[in-house]
Amino acid sequence: MRQKLVSRIGVDFKRRACANRCPTEEKDLVIIGGGVAGYVAAIKAGQAGLKVSCVEKRGSLGGTCLNVGCIPSKSLLNNSHLYHQILHDTKGRGIEVGDVKLNLPAMMKAKDTSVAGLTKGIEFLFKKNNVEYIKGTGAFQDEHTVAVNLVEGGETTVRGKNILIATGSEATPFPGLTIDEQKVITSTGAIALQEVPKKLTVIGGGIIGLEMASVWSRLGSEVTVVEFLGQIGGPGMDAEIAKASQKLLSKQGLKFKLNTKVMAGEVHDAGVKVNVEAAKGGKEETIDADVVLVAIGRRPYTSGLGLDNISLETDERGRLIIDQEYRTKIPHIRAIGDCTFGPMLAHKAEEEAVAAIEYITKGHGHVNYGAIPSVMYTHPEVAWVGQNEQELKADGVKYKTGNFPFSANSRAKTNLDTDGMVKFLSDAQTDRILGVHIIGPNAGEMIAEATLALEYGASSEDVARTCHAHPTLAEAFKEAAMATYDKAVHY
């Protein structure tokens, strides 16, 4: 018995030693990062018959988007909207409700259940497509070798003919405020608060800040949004749409301080004091908050990647420098997603993942960066694709515009959800669609039609002459197109 035990211990020791030191089989592709960019690339490469390893340090696949970003935030946005609607929008619908209570732990559990199911789904797809999933932190040892500190302890190495960097991004910190994810939080802390703060101050009026502001405002927080720019939604949002969105969010209880900069913040026992003043200078003001959400953007995450070991450099914004085929200066090492150029959007990362694998396997790939949609999942939703009006004016482009309000749409009226509009921008001479901007119900779904139209070079007349089912919200899209090249019928 003792001899068998000694033998088994010896085998285990050799296995661990081999994991730490033995040369490994060279893979066709090693991917560092199992977020949206990385896992989609892994699945696509596996489908193409490549031998693939994907290294992910989180211990669960899906990256920021699935674990602490897009997916859990949408769960909270959806359920907080239902809660808010039951409280404030049932009487006129013939629905009488009794005592409505918020069960925050149960709401958080529903969010976590959604996340867990989706991460397990990606693991299943890895197995289905023969992708090796290595749980650990990867760093370059040399140009073909990635050393991995395993989550469960120990080390290993993996070699690849091709290596794809897909390490994503992290929340940009605010100078002078230390993130503790309790009183000073990022979006990660904003989806995991254990109680509703009485007062929440949001630094940054972009998409992430406004979505989280909406969640906690609906659940009972007094929310103040501080934004350095003169409009909400970030520079990509059309100014007219941004103004309309701010007006509607203000009606919901959100307070806005635009053209305002944060000078300093101080954490104390009772909460956080935030000192602000006008962006162009002026009298300083102090805002008291229980919790401060820092939502001033995200920055590429390449820390600890061992870039020095292979002499790879980043630009002044921390982005990995690539060519049009996503190659770094080392041709077999590519980078995609948030760690390099372009909008930090999950669907942009997915498109790059597919294109990068096609470059590796076929020698050609394609992403149309002029047709990447953006969506803000507030209520009403805001979505856009292509250029906005201020960009066209700045570029000196001659354009025409048309819009159609949801208040004139039959489906929106029957749903008692009529805020917002669809806005088209098209070339003044050719009528080719240059941009579409939507604020209103179902905007995030409807923008897909605009993206497709933009991708195929459609004119507003093309869309207007395409039959849309009645009664649907999408008829507002058709009518806005009609208003652009001619006249709308129902307005």
Known catalytic residues are 470
Q: Which of 146, 165, 166 is nearest to 156 (CA)?
A: 146
Cα–Cα distance for residue pair 141/43, rounded to 1 Å:
25
Is 74 marked as a binding-site residue? yes
Is 280 marked as a binding-site residue? no
Is 138 marked as a binding-site residue? yes
Q: Which of 256, 234, 232, 229 is nearest to 244 (CA)?
A: 232
**Residues in CB range of 359: below 8 A, 6 or more apart:** 325, 326, 334, 365
Is 102 marked as a binding-site residue? no
Is 121 marked as a binding-site residue? no
Is 305 marked as a binding-site residue? no
Is 366 marked as a binding-site residue? no
Is 206 marked as a binding-site residue? yes
CA distances (Å), 235 to each of 111, 339, 393, in order?
Answer: 30, 21, 14
Q: Are 468 and 474 in contact (CB under 8 A)?
A: yes
Is 209 marked as a binding-site residue? yes
Is 425 marked as a binding-site residue? no
Is 112 marked as a binding-site residue? no
Is 347 marked as a binding-site residue? yes
The helix/strand count (H/E) of the chain reads as 14, 21
The two beta strands, 131-140 and 145-150, are antiparallel
Q: Are 38 and 353 in contact (CB under 8 A)?
A: yes
Is 233 marked as a binding-site residue? no
Is 344 marked as a binding-site residue? yes
Is 338 marked as a binding-site residue? yes
Residue 366 host element (H or E): none
Cα–Cα distance for residue pair 115/73, rounded to 1 Å:
10
Cα–Cα distance for residue pair 87/102, rounded to 1 Å:
10
CA distances (Å), 188 to each of 15, 57, 59, 73, 406, in order?
Answer: 38, 17, 16, 9, 34
Q: Are 271 and 183 in contact (CB under 8 A)?
A: yes
72: left (phi over 0), alpha (psi -120 to 50) or beta: alpha
Cα–Cα distance for residue pair 201/193, rounded to 1 Å:
14
Length of the chain: 491
Is 167 marked as a binding-site residue? yes
Instruction: Indicate if the alpha-carbon torsion angle 423, 427, 432, 434 is positive or negative.
Output: negative
Binding-site annotation: residue ranges: 74, 138, 167-169, 204-211, 227, 297, 338, 344-347
Binding-site annotation: residue ranges for NAD(+): 204-211, 227, 297
Binding-site annotation: residue ranges for FAD: 74, 138, 167-169, 338, 344-347
